[in-house]
Structure 1
Amino acid sequence: MFRAVVWGASGMAGGEVLRILAAHPSIEAVCAVSRGKQGQPVWHTHPHLRASFPELAFSAPEE
């Protein structure tokens, strides 16, 4: 399995990439990077991803 980091994950395009990764059988999204939303759950910004990423939180680019 491949592991993916999504930069700009709090934006519209980043949310779409996360949605696609959630359905991919061979790729796991392990990190969602956002400058302004670090520490917040991804589903706060993208509610449609709550079931796919219940515990994934945004990370700062520096982490």
Structure 2
Amino acid sequence: MTVEKLNSMLNHRRGTIIGDQAVVHMREDADVKVFTARAVTFVLRLNVKESLRCTWLEGHIKDTTV
């Protein structure tokens, strides 16, 4: 998988980190591995939603789904 292929797989519809930048350095022959997010159990779901809401209110993330 090439960097161009990886870049085409990424999208910014779910959320964007504001103010921080990252640089990914990869060898040309590197194997790219993609991992999906772990599912949140029902018991923790309200805590996760509240934590995301607080992070959003502080301006660290923004909702890009709308």
TM over 0.5: no
Larger RCO of the pair (alpha carbons < 8 Å, separation 6+)? 2
TM-score normalised according to structure 2 size: 0.29
**Higher share of residues assigned helix:** 2
TM-score normalised according to structure 1 size: 0.30
**Higher share of residues assigned strand:** 1
Tell which structure's C-alpha radius of gyration is larger. Answer: 2
